[in-house]
Copies of this chain bind each other. A is one copy, B any other.
Amino acid sequence: MRPALLIIDMINRFDFDGGPALARHAATASSSIQVMRATFHAHDWPVLFVNDNFMDWNSEFSDLVTSCRQLPGAPGQIASALEPQPSDYYVLKPRHSAFLCTTLPAILADLGAKSLVIVGVATDSCVLASVQDAHMRGYTLHVPRDAVAAKSPERSRRALALMEDAMQIDTRPAKTLVRSLLAT
């Protein structure tokens, strides 16, 4: 039973209110996301970029990746570090949750995935909405605390504590989680 990795909204211009602060914290998280993704690639487990299109319905994901990679600072660094590979999946997410008005339920059914590792931004917004929806649909969930970010570390910690208390989500750091996934 192989898990699936959902990378939420990391390909991002971060050009909204509070975006620069979020980008700085996301850049830190992107190191842990790279570690996690390398493990998934090594084991041929599915990696899915679940990403907002920022209401630009007419362009494709590859256009967004290209334009973000050319941005200065954290947004460009993140898009380059996490550049989607040909084997990675892409899911267009028009609302906060990865499950609402998206192809994700169909892809996960086709993949037979029952266990999800959810990473990305923002911990208390799109990540939380996706975790909540995945929890209600019965998935086993992992949200490594160093692979998610919010507009401040306090907001990320608050959302993680809520996930732990209200949904018993596993929030162990990425490296610990990788060891645990490889041991099972």
Which residues of A pack against B, CB within 8 Å?
A: 55, 57-58, 60-62, 86-90, 92, 94-97, 100-107, 109-110, 122, 124-125, 128-129, 132, 135-136, 138, 155, 158-159, 161-162, 165-167
Contacts and interface: CB of A to CB of B under 8 A. Distances in A.
A100 B136 contact: yes
B158 A162 contact: yes
Contact of A162 (B62, B100, B124): B124
B166 A124 contact: yes
Given A100-B136, A132-B132, A94 B122 contact: no
13 contacts: A55-B110, A57-B89, A58-B86, A58-B88, A60-B62, A92-B103, A94-B106, A95-B106, A101-B102, A101-B105, A124-B162, A128-B132, A129-B136
Contact of A159 (B58, B100, B106, B162): B162
Contacts of A96: 132, 135-136
Given A57-B89, A61-B60, A86-B58, A97 B136 contact: yes
A128 B158 contact: no
B166 A97 contact: no
Contacts of A92: 92, 103
